[in-house]
Chains A and B, each alone.
Chain A
Amino acid sequence: MADTPTEYIKHHLTNLTYGKVPAGTVRCDGSITQADQWVLARCGEEMNAMGFWAFHVDSLFFSGLMGIVFLGLFLWVARRASAGVPSGFSNFVEVVVEFVDGLVRDTFHGKSKLIAPLALTTFCWVFIMSSIKLLPVDTAWGLQVLFGLEYLKLVPTVDPNITLAMSFSVLFMIIGFAITHKGIGGFIGDLTLHPFEVSNPIGKILFIPINFVLEFVALMAKPVSLGLRLFGNMFAGEFVFILLAAMLGYWQFVGAVPWAIFHLLVIPLQSFIFMILTIVYLSMASEQH
């Protein structure tokens, strides 16, 4: 464990990273690599040397695990789903499913087999991933020592890679929906013929680059804001937990408990926002102006 609060915080915010160190990198123990090597990073310098080809093993592991937990629970219910009298956990799952289904029906007016399960998955998955945050921050440290790892960060949504990967997947779906509903021409028209609409052909052509810049920024702003909003909220929350742990030690619960209670509100809210914006973006993409 790190000694100073700064190091403690930094350590808690660093992911367990597996990546390729190129030949000639100075390793943490001072040795120099002879060839390209795939390793678990043991310090910041190695991580920087890895560049893009690195994976946050902990984020991917816990996001996958939580996804499996979510799908496992829901699949368990789905296997037993019948038109009879529901009970216990089935009730809860059915309430969630009905809630998401109602939202999708209200917001998305087209017909799509994808959008409702997508909304359910984003909502529940983000919710469960973010809920790990409610564990005391040093659970991560305990697990890290238990498995002999250098770093460990439990909450996947505190990793921008995770949230941005999801939001950019949504961007691909936005483009896909736009193309399937309006055709490629319609999609390109959306990008180039708005917001400035001119009736004469010359003006139209003149405005195409301006329109494109504006619309492209608007299009890219959707996934970036979607991903960064979730990341920002979760990071801020986690940061406060870590700060409390760093400053107060065993007395952290004095601040951490109220903050956790507050997060009982924040986590569902952020999951909900992520889901509803996904639905709204996709319905915007599939509707004519």
Chain B
Amino acid sequence: MNINATLLGQVIWFALFVWFCMKFVWPPIIGALTERKQKIADGLNAADRAARDLELAQAKASSNLHEAKEKAAEIIEAANRRANQILDEAKANAKAEGDRLVAKAQAEIEQEINQAREQLRKEVSALALQGAEQVLGAEVNRDAHKQLLEQLAAEL
């Protein structure tokens, strides 16, 4: 249990080791730890921010979706209205065309009836004249009886 110069040797060791630790060991390790702490803090902040951003984006997306739905409904409604309008127009057109065609056909029929009647009248007067000639056995002067014949034709 002697106290001797070992003391001095150990003091030298101690000073040397503490100096070495202070110079080469402590700073890099504690530096890395501090840096890592900062990095983790930054990462956590970024994660929080990202979560907030995501929330905002989701809200925006849902509002966009809602808007789009409304717009689509509007468009569909407008399209329906337009379709109905077109349908009505087409119906009206078709009716008008049909009426016109019917009227035209009737006019034509009328005209043809008149024509036929005219023709018939002429033929009847001729036939009547012929019949009378045969009955009388003589020629009837067309010009002399013209008034009479025309009267007859008009009565038909």
Interface residue ranges, A against B (CB under 8 Å): 15, 17, 19, 47, 50-56, 59-60, 63-64, 67, 70-71, 74-75, 77-79, 81-84, 86, 93-94, 97-98, 101, 113-114, 116-118, 120-121, 125, 156, 159-162, 164-166, 168-169
Q: Sorted from nearest, which 10 A-B pairs have the closest CB atoms?
A: A165-B10, A81-B32, A161-B6, A83-B35, A117-B22, A117-B26, A78-B28, A117-B21, A56-B6, A83-B36
6 more CB-based (< 8 A) A-B contacts, given A50-B4, A56-B6, A101-B33: A78-B28, A79-B28, A116-B30, A117-B18, A161-B3, A161-B7
Contact B24 A75 (CB under 8 A): yes
Q: Is the interface of B mostly helix, strand, loop or mixed?
A: helix
What size tier do the contact residues of chain B reach? 20 to 34
Contact A165 B21 (CB under 8 A): no
| Cβ–Cβ < 8 Å partners of A101 in chain B | 30, 33
Closest chain A residue, CB of each to CB of B7: A165
> Provided the pairs A19-B5, A53-B4 are in contact, do residues A125 and B17 lie with their beta carbons within 8 angstroms?
yes
> Provided the pairs A71-B21, A120-B21 are in contact, do residues A162 and B30 lie with their beta carbons within 8 angstroms?
no
CB 8 Å contact bits of B44-87 with A (1 = contact, 0 = none): 00000000000000000000000000000000000000000000
Q: Which of A84, A93, A165 contacts B29 (CB 8 A)?
A: A93
Q: Which of B2, B6, B33 contacts A97 (CB 8 A)?
A: B33
Q: Which of B7, B10, B29 contacts A77 (CB 8 A)?
A: B29
**CB proximity of B89 to chain A, nearest CB, Å:** 75
Interface residue ranges, B against A (CB under 8 Å): 1-11, 13-18, 20-22, 24-33, 35-36, 38-39
Contact B17 A55 (CB under 8 A): no
| Cβ–Cβ < 8 Å partners of B33 in chain A | 81, 94, 97-98, 101
Complex Cα gap A17–B31 (Å): 42
**CB proximity of B27 to chain A, nearest CB, Å:** 8
Contact B4 A81 (CB under 8 A): no
- Most chain-B Cβ atoms within 10 A of its Cβ — which of A71, A101, A117, A162? A117
Closest chain A residue, CB of each to CB of B24: A75
Contact B4 A63 (CB under 8 A): no
Complex Cα gap A182–B122 (Å): 154
| Cβ–Cβ < 8 Å partners of B38 in chain A | 83
Complex Cα gap A233–B147 (Å): 170
Q: Which of B6, B28, B30, B32 contacts A60 (CB 8 A)?
A: B6
- A–B pairs, 24, beta carbons within 8 Å: A19-B4, A47-B2, A52-B4, A56-B6, A64-B13, A70-B17, A78-B24, A81-B28, A82-B32, A83-B38, A94-B33, A97-B26, A114-B18, A114-B22, A116-B26, A116-B30, A117-B25, A125-B17, A159-B6, A161-B3, A161-B4, A162-B10, A165-B7, A165-B11
